[in-house]
Amino acid sequence: MEQPADPEEWTDEQWIEWLKATDDVDPDEPDADVYKVMSRIVRSTPGQVVGQAMLGMAQAIYGRRDDEVVIVSEASGEPADDEEFAVRLDPLHPERSAVVFQREPKRPN
């Protein structure tokens, strides 16, 4: 199936049909032997050392990845008076956020 001289002549359906016809239906699958060799290399001690060295170089060049898990939950505004601490967050200036502890926590009777 050949493309038209003017792409505007074809409808969307014709383009989709042409794209499907030009896709590889059966790509060559790599040999199982290649997977066996690669898994032996990856699991070997030198393979582990090289892998860790590559990760270290990536961290040195690009910096550490930010994998910190942040948990956000909604609350009903100001904390109750019986809580031992209060968290005050400043969204515009996060460095000004604070946690304020009571001097003597109230104990239930």
| Under-70 pLDDT residues of the chain | 1, 24-31, 75-83, 104-109
Per-domain boundaries in the chain: 30-65
Q: What is the pTM of this model?
A: 0.33
3-state secondary structure (DSSP) of residue 88: strand
Per-residue pLDDT, 76: 67
